Amino acid sequence: MTNFQISCVKWYDEGLNYGDNNTADTQLESYELYLVAGSSKILVADSNSPTIGPVKLPVGNVENNYSLSLQVHGIDQIGTYTKYPLTVQVHEIFT
């Protein structure tokens, strides 16, 4: 297992101010980190701040260069979200 921290600073929702002659962006309400395996998603962590973690991730798929597929959701005030895919490598730790 390896500790990871995801930082989502400068993620904003412009939709709430659309058409209001208000150019101020709104910070997102919450963030979720998912581990993606095939068609399944497993919630790994969530946060009300733009930083998620540290979270422990398992060793990645050996046959795929120790890769894990992750997805970050940035959720706005009305519950809609944007998905951002990530691929990370988590190697075995040898002692």
pLDDT at 22: 58
- Complete DSSP assignment for 26-38: EE-SEEEEEEEET
Tens place of pLDDT per residue across the chain (95 aa): 668 898 888 787 776 665 565 555 677 889 999 999 889 999 999 999 889 989 989 899 889 999 999 999 999 888 888 899 999 998 887 66
Do the bridges between strand 51-57 and strand 12-13 make them parallel or antiparallel, or are there none, so unpaired? Answer: unpaired
Extract the tokens encoding 4.
């990871």
pLDDT at 55: 92
